[in-house]
Structure 1
């Protein structure tokens, strides 16, 4: 299994909330680019990427959609 990008967030806080929501549901998730996001400080320039295993993608997307944690777009 490989990691796939589930969503991109302009806010580190929202990305962390989404990650914790998935982990609470038993889905492993990891954030990419969070250090660079904090360094640059501009969300649209370097968004934080939420990654999950490709086998968990559909379930993770449904959970975040139900909780209103998917970014617009």
Structure 2
């Protein structure tokens, strides 16, 4: 299984998007969500939303539909 980056989002947007994707049966995971938590900069580091490469096109369509 190869994961690909769907995009980089602020922390809250990333988790909302993951919920939306999973409601469409597209598994997704957040990378870097806890980066630099020790120095307090975790809210400034974008969270990468990753999906399986086979789901990328469908996931991208969902992102495009909510970004309008």
Q: Which interval holds the TM-score relative to the shorter structure?
A: 0.7 to 0.9
When normalised by structure 2's length, the TM-score is 0.85
When normalised by structure 1's length, the TM-score is 0.80
- Any unmatched runs of 5+ in structure 2? none
Cα RMSD between the aligned structures?
1.6
Q: Kindly provide the CA deviation profile for residues 12-71 of structure 1, in whole angstroms up to 9, marking residues without a partner as x.
A: 11000111010001100000000116x12342xx210000000000100001110128xx
After TM superposition, which residue ranges in structure 1, 4 or more long, deviate above 3 angstroms? none
Structure number with greater Rg is: 2
- Any unmatched runs of 5+ in structure 1? none
Residue correspondences, number? 65
